[in-house]
């Protein structure tokens, strides 16, 4: 980024697609990797690390449009903000999946129907 972060944020708040795309290209891949680490060992039936990163970027863009992030003055501030948003979203997803109304972490996928002594396995074999 040749312009300062503050200038980019002003462009994003004004709806400049090029500025938004530049920030996306610079940070999205990093956020996916961060979300992947946060979700390590977690079954991703309903969402994955890209979903978390997309949601984090969307929240960031909405926050910029609503002037919520006034204390971003450099790349380090921006990265800290994006990390915080991503980590919180990953934690919220994990918490939601382990809530009692979602089965308390005991819900199993189609793999429960696999049989070890038969080549044919899966939900289709229930009938």
Q: Which residue has the higher pLDDT, 20 or 126?
A: 20
Per-residue pLDDT at 9 exceeds 70: yes
Q: Specify the DSSP class assigned to residue 1.
A: -
Mean pLDDT of 29-33: 96
pLDDT of residue 40: 85
Mean pLDDT of 69-82: 91
pLDDT of residue 104: 54
pLDDT of residue 1: 45
The model's pTM: 0.72
> In residues, how long is the chain?
127
pLDDT of residue 24: 94
């Amino acid at each position: 980024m040749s312009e300062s972060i503050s200038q980019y944020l002003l462009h994003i708040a004004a709806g400049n697609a090029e500025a938004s795309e530049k920030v996306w290209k610079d940070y999205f891949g990093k956020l996916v990797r961060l979300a992947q680490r946060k979700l390590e060992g977690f079954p991703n039936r309903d969402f994955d690390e890209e979903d978390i990163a997309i949601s984090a970027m969307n929240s960031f863009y909405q926050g910029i449009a609503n002037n919520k992030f006034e204390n971003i003055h450099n790349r380090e501030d921006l990265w800290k903000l994006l990390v915080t948003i991503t980590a919180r979203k990953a934690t919220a997803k994990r918490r939601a999946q382990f809530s009692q109304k979602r089965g308390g972490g005991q819900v199993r996928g189609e793999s429960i129907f696999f049989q070890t002594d038969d080549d044919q396995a899966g939900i289709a074999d229930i009938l």
